[in-house]
Amino acid sequence: MMSDGAEYSRAGEFDYVVVGGGSAGCVVAGRLAENRGATVALLEAGPRDWSPCVHVPAGVVATVPTRHCNWAFKTEPQEAFGGRRGYQPRGRVLGGSSAINAMIYTRGVPQDYDGWEVPGWSWREVLPYFKRAENNERGADDWHGVGGPLNVADLRSPNPVARRFVEAAQACGYPRNDDFNGAMQEGIGFYQVTQKDGRRCSAARAYLHGQDNLAVVTDAQATRVLFEGRRAVGVEFQRDGRRAVVRARREVVVSAGAFQSPQLLMLSGIGPGAALHSLGISVRHDSPQVGRNLQDHLDYVALYASRSLDLIGISLGGALKVAGEAVRYLATRRGMLTTNYAEAGGFLKTDPALALPDIQMHFVIGLVDDHARKWRFGHGMSLHVCQLRPASRGEVTLASADPLARPRIDPRFLSAPGDLAALVKGVRIARRIMAGDALAPVREAELQAPRDDSDAALAEAIRARADTIYHPAGTCRMGIDAASVVDAELCVRGVAGLRVADASIMPRLIAGNTNAPCVMIGEKAASLIRSTL
């Protein structure tokens, strides 16, 4: 049943059991295993991260639009989209979404964490965990760390068209920013990425190193947390069609993500009591907020055709170039295959009077139509714009008591009117940048363009085509109030021996990509657990 280090624990009993081998779960498991006197089991529903599509950065194009290493969830029909369902890629592989994401390293801003108003989670208190995790190839300073497991680097072979985008934004009056995680977030520039030597540095690659006191069990989908009385004592899971159990002497840590952490809690009897009872699930603790407070960044993509072979595309010339780039990558770990696609971008204000940026942009060196699920012949470029501080709130609920059934995901995008107004302003800024002279040599027609530049036309286009940019959070909310799902120590209220550590604990979604914050949450969770010894 067990793999990697199972010899020392034939009975399937460990000190700690971590559910979910993603951005936070790998961190928790790896850090807890540094205590050589402790035994740890890590359960991951997906396979090992052996796929080259995981390790070669450009391989993300084969995972996000498909079921390869991907749960590929869909949302409930969205009223604001005229009944259209959204698409929600999430990593189903060791490393979780850190194994299929665009590798962008951003943290948000200090005000995000101070705004949580949870003791121990202010910016001053979480910054040391960001720095502890990080090995920034630029070196250490007040904002960055070196020597940590997660390698953070500049792109090895930046695309020349991405440079043109940065120039076009600067010509529109937006400041250049070479470090979105430094003293100021606002501005346009190149993103740093979680790569090392031209390969993806997922949380699994960073934190899991074959420790003999750590059992990594893949293809193991957790079905419920087991209790004795009110104390969590293990996890039931399915592997190869068979039921299995792994027991925890000390704690169970759920790190299954913003969709599946609340799902597992509810399957285990922790959640809205009436809803669980209606599905025939025995209620262990009535916790109405489990699955509520779902937040996500809604994203609109502006598409532009091009003939430049510097851009990713489908053509004979492009195929020949990719073949040459594959040889280059194998020989040097440089070139086009090291791209994270979303090479440049930034954080801007839709109104100069705002205290902080309210939109984020990702400039992609290829055409990304419907999460790259719709292929277009030819070459092109895309500019994503998302609203950073959505007021809309959704929920995750159970579709049935079947633990293998997918959860119901309802983000309720644009249910708060101000979200659409901010995104309309952001799309107008994006189109203005893309019309800049610096991009003229490579820019052709805008594809699927709004009928005009009016607010009504832009809103219509957003409703027709916008979707997630993959940052769901908030469904196991942390807080000091009794209604919160977990407390400041990440302990699940109403039971003992059970914590949650992933993006689901965020009271409010941070203003940026969520991978680095999830790694921080994993670091802090491991520290909190070790402090109880």
Type and span of the H or E element at 242? strand 242-254
Query: From the candidates 285, 362, 379, 471, which is the catalytic residue?
Result: 471
Residue 394 per-residue DSSP state: B
Residue 281 DSSP symbol: P
Residue 169 is given by DSSP the state H
Pairing of strands 378-387, 313-314: antiparallel
| Rounded Cα distance, 475 and 286, in Å | 15
Radius of gyration of the chain (CA): 22
Residue 151 pairs in a beta bridge with 135
C-alpha 386/C-alpha 396 separation (Å) is: 22
The pair of structure tokens assigned to 170 is 């600067």
Residue 162's nearest CA partner among 341, 428, 407, 351 is 341
Q: What share of the chain is helix, strand, coil (3-state, %, to 5)?
A: 30, 25, 45
Query: What stretches of 309-447 show up as alpha helix (H) in DSSP?
Result: 316-332, 417-434
Phi, then psi, of 38 in degrees rounded to 5: -110, 150
Which residue, 296, 252, 483, is CA-closest to 396? 296
Sign of CA dihedral 73, 79, 83, 84: negative
Question: Phi/psi of residue 176, each to 5°?
Answer: -75, 135
Please report, as a single letter, which amino acid is at residue 110.
P
Longest dimension (CA), the chain: 68
Position 42, amino acid = L
Rama region for 201: left / alpha / beta (φ>0; ψ in -120 to 50; rest): beta
Active site residue 471: yes
Question: CA–CA distance from 379 to each of 301, 309, 337, 365, 512 (Å)?
Answer: 16, 7, 16, 9, 28
Instruction: Give the bridge partners for 335, in sequence order.
Output: none
| CA 260 to chain CA centroid, nearest Å | 13
Residue identified by tokens 């990425």 is: 193
Just list the catalytic residues: 471
